[in-house]
Amino acid sequence: MSSTTPPLAIVEESIPNAGKRRRGERTIRIRGARPGFWTYAILTTVFISAAFPLYWSFVIGSGDSSSLRERPWWPGGNFISNAITVMTNPAVNFWPALWNSIYSSFLIAAAVVLTSTLAGWAFAKLRFPGGPGMLAFVVATMAVPQQLGVVPLYILFSELGWTGQIGAIIVPALTSAFGVFWMTQYLRQSVPDELIEAARVDGASMIRTFWTVGVPAARPAAAMLFLFTFVGAWNNFFWPFIVLDPQNPTLPVALSLLQSNYFVDYSLVLAGVVLATIPLLLLFIFAGKQLVSGIMAGAVKG
Amino acid sequence: MSTAALPTDKPVRVLSFSQRLSKWDLKVSPYLYISPFFIMFAIVGLFPIAYTAVISFMDWDLVRNNGTFIGFDQYIWILQQPHFWTALRNTFSIFLLSTVPQLILAIFIAAVLDRNIRAKTFWRMGVLLPFVVAPVAVGLIFNVVFADNFGLINGILGDLGLPGIQWHKEPFWSHIAIATMVNYRWTGYNTLILLAAMQAVNRDYYEAATVDGAGPIRQFFSITLPSLRPTLIFVIITATIGGLQIFDEPRVFDQFGRGGAGQQWLTITLYLYDIGWGQWNFGRAAAMAWILFIIIVLIGLINLLITRSLVRDEGRRGAPVSRRQRRKEVAR
């Protein structure tokens, strides 16, 4: 991407006096040139605004109940003891919440990738009556807010006796209209039709073609879809908050309970926030680059 | 091949079993592949949406789990509630305070990132960092930053000799605080989308503009901004759909989660939750959900029209650049 930036300095040299007669010529900015101090000053400010709230919650979370009043700028020594207080508080259910978040997010992301890749392959590369219409319909449902479904879903799950169970947050999230749209867009561009025809001429069945042509081609987009679905499932709050019990929560639900339990002691609340954020910060360190390129790739195609 | 062999060959074109299987495979496979998605989607996506409409016309009995049809009464009840109008005002206020500054900031940061900087990946990851923090966690962190007593901001204001702000009492200031949470989490995400769109702009335009003596600011308004139009529409529509549904951040803005003692930060979804799972009235909650959906569609359409017309004007201003560009091309 960066290599497409044209070496403008050369253009500039080839027409040495082109702009000199015009006013304001002295500050022609050449986009190919290295930007100066202010660019990095702005970027540093942006970076600090992104990182500071997290740092600061660690600072407060490692203090004690009076640390907010004292307004420290450096971490204190109580993080471990605060963390243990949060983790062992029976009202918060930290460990069940962590486990629930991990396995529900994994299951959801895996199922979404599976169903979306299959459906995306069909929409992108196989011609069948009703295909384009169905795809348009799926895309249209992406604008429908989550709130529109929660009342019947709640009734459905309470009939089944699933309220309070993690299954109630996994099952509704097993498919994603966005996922289908995403995989369709990607596969449409990345697999040439000739490749499929060649496989068919060679006598490969449809599922074999999907497996040997589609799946390898889909892998990069599928990995990104997995990441985004995982982060989304992990952070989801509205529906889990409705359907789950405080005894068996996910991390965001447990976090919201933390505040009603400890609303006087912010150091414990923020220690809990830090604890609950660490898993995704680890994910970000390893996969942040993929998240960045996923967002940027999606923007160009979508 | 002899022509004599043809007549015997022609009429008996019996398909072998494997050929028939292959044909059947070709026809059925697509439906087979989309069926896992569509079956699940029908049960947990489409059925609830349709059924919400049915329930919204009913007085729902929680014990017997069925309802009696009462027409538009639930809708009328909601529209008569002062809380609904407060929630609508708060939702719009938070939506505007978050979307407008966020988009301006995102365009600005994207323009800076679009320059030929060092350590691109590092800065890009830096802006995206808040995206992985759960909205609930963001809410709790900023809740302490904006605490009325001893909060970070009021503390700094106190150091400067200024009076503290009543973040949790004044509606406007509570909206600012909640909008800040939204902006914190989403600005970087939108920045990257806009950055991708900026990088897709043909660099020849800038080249031509530089040659013609257009400064960076003129280039930004005449080339960059008009090229961002489709992306801006996408970002604004997404922000509208998400922003009007806001729930997580106002829910944790205090320990009670009911939008403040005087409904200062009660939003539509917070109100929906309160009707549904605080007052346990599912008919009204369903009607509320449909009202929210209608509002989202309306505002989405209005935003689409506004963005289109605004950026179309920019496009007209951008046109001379391309003409000059063409002239330059000819001169070459």
Using a CB–CB cutoff of 8 Å, tell me whether A19 touches chain B.
yes
Q: Can you tell me the distance from the alpha carbon of A221 to that of A182, in angstroms, rounded to the nearest whole number?
A: 8
3-class DSSP assignment, residue A302: coil
Rounded to whole angstroms, what are the CA distances from A180 to A112, A119, A188, B36? 9, 6, 12, 12
For residue A15, name the pLDDT band (cuts at 50, 70, 90): very low
Q: Can you tell me the distance from the alpha carbon of A33 to that of A25, in angstroms, rounded to the nearest whole number?
A: 16
Q: What is the pLDDT of residue B15?
A: 67
Burial degree of A75 (CB within 10 A; 0-12, 13-18, 19+):
middle
**How many CA atoms lie less than 13 Å away from A56 in the CB half-sphere?**
20
Average pLDDT over residues B309-318: 54
Q: Which of B133, B185, B279 to mutate to test the interface with A (most CBs of A within 10 A)?
A: B133
Rounded to whole angstroms, what are the CA distances from A154 to A157, A240, B42? 5, 11, 16
For residue B324, name the pLDDT band (cuts at 50, 70, 90): very low
Average pLDDT over residues B64-71: 81
3-class DSSP assignment, residue B245: coil
Distance from CA of A276 to the nearest CA of B (A): 8
User: What does the DSSP 8-state code read for residue B67?
Assistant: E
Question: What contacts A117, CB < 8 A, 6 or more positions away?
Answer: A183, A214, A215, A218, A222
Q: Can you tell me the distance from the alpha carbon of A119 to that of B120, in angstroms, rounded to the nearest whole number?
A: 35
B266: left (phi over 0), alpha (psi -120 to 50) or beta: beta
Average pLDDT over residues A106-126: 93
Would you say residue B11 has pLDDT above 60?
no
Place of tokens 């930007």: A35
Answer yes or no: do B44 and A121 touch at CB < 8 A: no
Answer yes or no: do B255 and A259 touch at CB < 8 A: yes
Answer yes or no: do A144 and B188 touch at CB < 8 A: no
Q: Can you tell me the distance from the alpha carbon of B40 to that of A300, in angstroms, rounded to the nearest whole number?
A: 29
Q: Which of B31, B40, B117, B136 to mutate to test the interface with A (most CBs of A within 10 A)?
A: B136
pLDDT in tens, A274-286: 999 999 999 999 9
B66 DSSP β-pair partners: B61
Answer yes or no: do A118 and B37 touch at CB < 8 A: yes
Burial degree of A264 (CB within 10 A; 0-12, 13-18, 19+):
exposed
Using a CB–CB cutoff of 8 Å, tell me whether B61 touches chain A.
no
In A, residues 69-108, which contact B (CB 8 Å cutoff)? 69, 71
Q: Can you tell me the distance from the alpha carbon of A8 to that of A18, in angstroms, rounded to the nearest whole number?
A: 14
For residue B229, name the pLDDT band (cuts at 50, 70, 90): confident
Q: Which of B16, B128, B141 to mutate to test the interface with A (most CBs of A within 10 A)?
A: B141
Q: What is the pLDDT of residue A8?
A: 34
3-class DSSP assignment, residue B59: strand
Using a CB–CB cutoff of 8 Å, tell me whether A39 touches chain B.
yes
**How many Cβ pairs within 8 Å bridge chains A and B?**
322
Contact B321, B255 (CB under 8 A): no
Across the interface, which of A5, A22, A235 has its CB nearest the CB of B134? A235
Q: Global pTM?
A: 0.84
Could you tell me which chain B residue has the CA closest to the CA of A52?
B130
In B, residues 2-31, which contact A (CB 8 Å cutoff)? 22, 25-27, 29-31
Average pLDDT over residues A163-189: 90
- Which residues of A are less than 8 Å from B255 in CB distance? 259-260, 263
Q: Can you tell me the distance from the alpha carbon of B138 to that of A54, in angstroms, rounded to the nearest whole number?
A: 9
Q: Can you tell me the distance from the alpha carbon of B190 to that of B212, in angstroms, rounded to the nearest whole number?
A: 31
Which class would CATH give A90-301? Answer: mainly alpha
pLDDT in tens, B162-174: 888 889 988 999 9
More confident residue, B244 or B7: B244
Q: Can you tell me the distance from the alpha carbon of B78 to that of B223, in angstroms, rounded to the nearest whole number?
A: 47
- Which residues of B are less than 8 Å from A273 in CB distance? 137, 140-141
Q: What is the pLDDT of residue A235?
A: 93
Q: What's the whole-number average pLDDT of chain A?
A: 82
Would you say residue A209 has pLDDT above 80?
yes
Contact B275, B126 (CB under 8 A): no
Using a CB–CB cutoff of 8 Å, tell me whether B130 touches chain A.
yes
For residue B98, name the pLDDT band (cuts at 50, 70, 90): very high
Alpha carbon A127 to chain centroid distance? 32
Amino acid type, A175:
T
Rounded to whole angstroms, what are the CA distances from A2 to A31, B27, B208? 12, 44, 19
- Which residues of A are less than 8 Å from B144 in CB distance? 57, 60, 68, 266, 269-270
Q: Where are the domains of chain A?
A: 90-301
B60 DSSP β-pair partners: B67
Lowest mean pLDDT, pick from A263-272, B73-82, B265-274: A263-272
Q: Can you tell me the distance from the alpha carbon of B51 to that of B57, in angstroms, rounded to the nearest whole number?
A: 10
Burial degree of B289 (CB within 10 A; 0-12, 13-18, 19+):
buried
Alpha-helical segments (H) within chain A: 8-14, 37-61, 67-70, 79-88, 94-125, 131-141, 147-160, 167-170, 177-190, 193-201, 206-209, 215-235, 238-243, 251-262, 266-301
Q: What is the pLDDT of residue B311?
A: 63
For residue B309, name the pLDDT band (cuts at 50, 70, 90): confident
In B, residues 232-261, which contact A (CB 8 Å cutoff)? 234, 237, 241, 244-245, 247-248, 251-252, 255-257
Answer yes or no: do B203 and A31 touch at CB < 8 A: yes
More confident residue, B31 or B317: B31
